[in-house]
Structures are given as C-alpha cells and as structure tokens.
Amino acid sequence: MNQKAKGIIGILTGGGDVPGLNPAIRAVTIRALREGYKVIGIRRGWKGLVDVIRDKKVDNSCNYFELTEEIVNKAGRTGGTFLHSSRTRASHVPQSAVPEHLKDKYNAEINDLTPEVLKNLEFIGIDYLIPIGGDDTLSYAVRLSQEGVKVVAIPKTMDNDVPGTDYCIGFSTCITRTIELTHDLRTCAGSHERLLVLEVFGRYAGFSAMLPTLAGAANRCVIPEYQFDIERLAELLCQDRYTNPSKYSVVLVSEGASYSGGQMMFQSDEADMFGHKKLGGIGDYVSNELKNLSPKFNKGETINVINQKLGYLVRCGNPDAMDSIVPMAYGNLALDLISKGMHGRLVILRNGRYDNAPIDIVTSSKKLVDINKFYNTDRLRPQYNSFEFMPQMIL
C-alpha cells in the first residue's frame, strides 16, 4: 500500500449511521482513483486506527482495506456505512478498550492513544485523512489536525448540529422520514381521537423536531434548548385536538428535551467515550403526564395517548435525494481541497453555496436553535417573522 502514485487517502466514518455516508465514500473514492490516488477505507471509525498492529506480517484487513470502484459502486446508493462505525474516542480510551497488544504500555483508567494513531497512519502510509462524522467524531479530527495530520473533514449528523455548516449529511432523510411517519401515524390517532406523542432524535439541538413541525407534520414540538411546562403543553394539545375535525393532535419531542425543573432523561448511567449517556424516557414521561392532565382541559374526560419513539426508523434505509446529492458534492469538495494541497478544513454548505471552513470551527462553538428568533416559547412551536434570505434548511 505504500507504493503510491500521487498519494494515499484514508477515509472513515464515525458515530451514528445515517443515509448518505456510502454516497460520500463513493464520491471520494471514484474521484481520487481517477486522479491517481489510492484510497484506504478505515473500518469502525477511530477504532480502526487504534487497533492497527504495526507489523507487515500481521493481517490488518479487519482494520483497513483498499477501496476500488467496484466496491464503492455496489454500496454507493445504499444507506448506512459499509466501513462500519463506532463511538471510539482515541484520546479517551478506557483501560478495558485498549487493544491487547498495547495493554502493557497503556494501563491507566483513561488513556490517550493519539501517539499510536499517528504511528498507525504513518505505517499505513496515509497522506490525507477524510473523516466523516458529527461534532464528536470531528472534534478528534481537530486534534489530529493540530498534531500535523492532513485532515479534510465532512460533516454528518441527523441532528444537523455541526457548527460552521448549514447542512450535515443525514439531516434531510431524517426530516423526510419524520414527516412521513408522523403522517402515517395520524390515521391511528385520528381513528381513536387521541393525542400523538413522537420522540425524535436531538440531544442538544432541536432541529429534527422543529423542521417537521414547521412543515405541518405536528401541532407542537418541545426541544432541548427550552425547558417546557408540561401543563401548558397539555393545554395546547387539548385545544388543537378540540379544533381538529378528526379530534387528535400531535407533538414531536426531542430526545434531549426536559420539562421545567427537570433534566435530560437517560436509559442508564453508562456513558460512551465522549461522555454521552444513552438518552431515553422523555417521550414516555410526556405521554403519561398528558393523559393525567387531559381531564383538566377536556371537560373532565381523559384523552388517551399514542406514544411512539421513531428512533432508528428515521436513520435506516436509503438516502433521499438531498442526501444523495450533497454527499457527492462534499466528497468532490474534499478532493478539490486535496488537489490544491489544502488541509485542516471542513467542507460545508453555507447560504445555499458549497464552501469550506477551518476545521477547528467544529470545536469553537455549539450549533443550537436560536429560540429568541425561531421558537415561540409560549405556543411551543416554530415562529418566523420572514423567510426572506433564510438558508434553505431555514434554521
């Protein structure tokens, strides 16, 4: 693999899977191969670079392999990532996750394996690295860039919360599926005259609940950026139901949302390497409270609730049109930068135009819904004074 023409490009995917990853890998690979580069696919995100054994006699195909047009063409129109993924954070590896061949050297409770990653990149012969991920995956890419690795990053996350870009791969399919599934579930809510509570993705940012609500899929939404009053939500949904001829109403609940005086809800106290606990429970809480509170706003009669967590249904399957086109453009943008000898950059969409930004923009701020501009805290729904000159995805 060290026998190279113009150089070797490594590509990896980290964090949660989304539709659009395989089209991005395909775009990078085909363009790179036609311009004289070799492309190495690194398996399971940063974990693949942690687990490499630097011995030419060892089979490392479980950690990386050479990509060809045949390989990427087969996967390029499908969802998920054929390179697989993980939530490994190479700078914060717990002792239990340190590879067996490194346990003698790294035996602290939490270990920084960046020195090994740097040596492994050199061992593989990678000249440029293209990580595709959200703010967690790309925050470590920032670290590698600071260490001298030539990094060109591509933003991916269905929460659409990577700073510096208006759009992240996976967001459009997430919104499309959320709207479709919400409309499908309306038939159940309408048939039984119930309230419909749908829990959607969104740990810190409420974009994936705001956009479908704005598009008319739901009456209300609650988001992580604002602690909502459950009694006010019950009042609004009962009003919405009363004015609906089919006698039902819908609320989208971000998984990271919390009620007044409460906190995020988690399935357990176990955290990943980025310090994130697995979210879960806010949809159940909202559903139970709405049922208990409904008599107060429905002339003493209880309204039953349909409670559904959309979860992986909005991130599985094939990409929609936007998540087929944008990854193609992002992959080619990355190669544009590499062909110019540029690195330490993040490819982006800004104000409807493709561009690039310094990669450290990923760690410089948080990308959240501006509730003063876009969220009515009394009505618990999106608000807009004007759409003129707004970005395509509005928020």
Give mean pLDDT in consecutive 10-residue pieces for the chain, a chain of 395 residues: 73 96 97 96 98 96 97 91 96 96 95 98 98 96 98 96 96 96 97 98 95 96 97 98 97 96 84 80 96 98 97 94 96 97 97 95 94 96 88 72
CB 166 within 8 A of CB 117: no
| Alpha carbons 248 and 189: distance in angstroms, whole number | 6
Given its phi and psi angles, is residue 288 left (phi above 0), alpha (psi -120 to 50 degrees) or beta?
alpha
Q: Among 135, 136, 159, 161, which one carries the catalytic annotation?
A: 159
What is the reported pTM? 0.94
| Alpha carbons 302 and 125: distance in angstroms, whole number | 66
Unique residue bearing structure tokens 């995917």 = 13
The fold of the 5-167+316-361 domain, in CATH, is Rossmann fold (3.40.50)
CB 272 within 8 A of CB 279: no
Q: Where are the alpha helices (DSSP H) in the chain?
A: 21-34, 46-51, 69-75, 114-124, 135-146, 171-192, 207-214, 230-243, 282-293, 322-339, 371-374
Pull the structure tokens for residue 1: 């693999």
Which pLDDT score, from 0 to 100, does residue 1 have? 47
Per DSSP, the three-state class of 86 is coil
Pull the structure tokens for residue 277: 């606990």
| Alpha carbons 273 and 296: distance in angstroms, whole number | 45
| Alpha carbons 307 and 130: distance in angstroms, whole number | 40
| Alpha carbons 22 and 132: distance in angstroms, whole number | 10
Specify the domain boundaries for CATH 3.40.50.450 within the chain: 5-167+316-361
| Alpha carbons 50 and 46: distance in angstroms, whole number | 6
Beta-bridge partner residues of 195? 249, 305
| Alpha carbons 42 and 252: distance in angstroms, whole number | 36
Q: How far is CA 340 from the centre of its chain?
A: 29
Amino acid letter at 366?
K
Q: Which CATH architecture has domain 170-313+369-380?
A: 3-Layer(aba) Sandwich (3.40)
Unique residue bearing structure tokens 């690194």 = 42
Amino acid letter at 47?
K
| Alpha carbons 343 and 20: distance in angstroms, whole number | 23
CB 146 within 8 A of CB 353: no
Candidates 285, 290, 289, 154; CA nearest to 219 is: 290
Catalytic residue flag (residue 127) = no
Rounded alpha-carbon distances, angstroms, from residue 189 to 219, 244, 379, 380: 13, 12, 22, 20
Distant-in-sequence, close-in-space partners of 338: CB < 8 Å, separation ≥ 6: 9, 32, 37, 128, 152
CB 63 within 8 A of CB 24: no
Specify the domain boundaries for CATH 3.40.50.460 within the chain: 170-313+369-380
